[in-house]
Amino acid sequence: MNVLVCGGAGYIGSNMTAILAENGHNPIVFDNFSKGHRDAVKGHELAEGDLADFDLLVKILKDKKIEAVMHFAAFIEVGESCALPLEYYRNNFSNTRTLLAAMEKTEVRKFVFSSTAAVYGMPKTVPITEDLEKEPINPYGESKWAVERMCHFQSLTGRLNYAALRYFNACGAGGSGAIGEDHKPESHLIPLVIAAAMGKREDIKIFGTDYPTSDGTCIRDYIHIEDLCSAHLLALEKLDNNPELVYNLGNGKGYSVRQVIETVKKVSGKNVKVTEVARRPGDPPVLTADASKAISQLGWKVKYPQLEKIVETAWIWHSKNPQGYKK
Ligand code: UFG
């Protein structure tokens, strides 16, 4: 299948691009390189441009005979979204509307969308099932939920078959440690702890130690990037006969911030200085996925259920790329 991978040079998009190619598909990377890395998609076909450009999207969808679109291009910082809500609505929502309009015009029906556990806000129960209330507590989660609703109504017209995949904490490096996580600035826990272990940061700050969890720190569900991508591939294959697919993608097992730090110390063999600071606003104490729907309906199998194995792949990439991607 010819697949347009929007945001294909980012962390998840670049891993997806590699996996699509390995599985006999023809990925075309669409990226404006505002955040993505050219080095992460070497050897793959590029279509450089911006999602706001309707005419360019129509041209690419037609010229490249695109059969499906996977959409990873988005701003992802919860804190930043509270400071710049309009930017999040523009980039995450308005640009996705433009993309869907270009798909409608060119009669491309299949769409796989990167959603997030942030659509649930502060869940009343965990593990989270897909039918739990969607009550995002920040513009980031709200912008993703708004796209899900737009896809839902567009699918009712009969002109869109979509999958919304709600990620928990994507992490690790794909391709045996070849395609890694390099956000600038970095805000995610695992790469930050690794940076501290490598001596690139003085310490790792734990945001809050008074949560109602076993060790007082937040619990998250860490899912390896290749597992995340394999679910996308399965969802893509199922879109022919399904207008609407919605799945949580997580391991179902939670690890606390302290457990993540201990795991990085073990994998790296390095010590990490820990500084305990106040809570970060908007962090729910526990977020874990009930991914049984993806497992039973897609036949999804997770290859990396253990945090240690996930962190090993991240450690390999960061050790090989201490300064991140060069470009
Ligand atoms: N944390 C620290 N110190 C740090 C960084 C993070 O203690 O320096 C803590 C956070 O407070 C949180 C946990 O580590 O409890 C994980 O934080 P991340 O920033 O790595 O990830 P989040 O769980 O906040 O967010 C992730 C994705 C979001 C997505 C969200 C959905 O990055 O895009 O999951 O649950 F919206």
Query: Mean pLDDT across the stretch 79-91?
Result: 95
297: how many CB neighbours lie within 10 A of its CB?
14
Q: Read off the amino acid at residue 316.
A: I
Question: Residue 54 in contact with residue 71, Cβ under 8 Å?
Answer: no
Q: Give per-residue pLDDT as tens, 180-218.
A: 999 989 999 999 999 999 999 999 999 999 999 999 999
Amino acid 30: pLDDT: 98
Q: Residue 262 pLDDT more than 90?
A: yes
Containing 196, the helix (H) or strand (E) segment is helix 189-197
Establish whether residue 187 lines the binding site of ligand 1, counting it when its CB lies within 6 angstroms of any ligand atom: yes
Q: Which two tokens stand for residue 43?
A: 């050897």
Q: Give per-residue pLDDT as tens, 263-310.
A: 999 999 999 999 999 999 888 999 999 999 999 999 999 999 999 999
* Residue 229 CB partners (closer than 8 Å, separation 6+): 12, 15, 16, 19, 174
Query: Mean pLDDT across the stretch 33-50?
Result: 96
For ligand 1, what atom is nearest to the CA of residue 190? 20
Question: Domains of the chain, with CATH numbers?
Answer: 2-171+223-249 (3.40.50.720), 174-221+252-289+303-320 (3.90.25.10)
Backbone angles phi, psi at 128, to 5 degrees: -85, 130
Backbone angles phi, psi at 164, to 5 degrees: -105, 120
Q: Which two tokens stand for residue 227?
A: 């597992």
State the Cα–Cα distance between residues 292 and 234, nearest whole angstrom.
14
Q: Residue 53 pLDDT more than 90?
A: yes
Q: Residue 8 pLDDT more than 90?
A: yes
| Ligand 1, atom 34: closest residue by C-alpha | 169
Amino acid 281: pLDDT: 85
**How distant, in Å, are the alpha carbons of 3, 108, 144, 204, 235 from that of 240?**
14, 12, 23, 46, 10
For residue 51, the 8-state DSSP code is: T
Establish whether residue 201 lines the binding site of ligand 1, counting it when its CB lies within 6 angstroms of any ligand atom: no
Ligand 1: centre distance to CA 117 (Å): 11
Amino acid 104: pLDDT: 98
| Ligand 1, atom 18: closest residue by C-alpha | 188
| Ligand 1, atom 11: closest residue by C-alpha | 207
Amino acid 15: pLDDT: 98
For ligand 1, what atom is nearest to the CA of residue 204? 8
Amino acid 282: pLDDT: 82
| Ligand 1, atom 19: closest residue by C-alpha | 188
- State the chain's mean pLDDT as an integer: 97
Q: Residue 142 pLDDT more than 90?
A: yes
Establish whether residue 205 lines the binding site of ligand 1, counting it when its CB lies within 6 angstroms of any ligand atom: yes
Query: Mean pLDDT across the stretch 125-145?
Result: 96
Burial class (CB in 10 A: 0-12, 13-18, 19+), 127: buried
Amino acid 211: pLDDT: 96
CA-wise closest residue to 91 among 150, 148, 5, 7: 7
Which residue among 202, 218, 273, 276 has the greatest number of ligand 1 atoms within 8 angstroms of its CB, and so is best to mutate? 218
| Ligand 1, atom 20: closest residue by C-alpha | 188
Catalytic residue among 11, 120, 140, 304: 140
Q: Residue 22 pLDDT more than 90?
A: yes
**How much of the chain exceeds pLDDT 70, in percent?**
100
Q: Give per-residue pLDDT as tens, 93-113.
A: 999 999 999 999 999 999 999
For residue 166, the 8-state DSSP code is: E
Q: Is residue 140 annotated as a catalytic residue, yes or no?
A: yes
Establish whether residue 74 lines the binding site of ligand 1, counting it when its CB lies within 6 angstroms of any ligand atom: no
For residue 43, the 8-state DSSP code is: T
Q: Which two tokens stand for residue 61?
A: 């969808």
For ligand 1, what atom is nearest to the CA of residue 280? 11
Ligand 1: centre distance to CA 193 (Å): 12
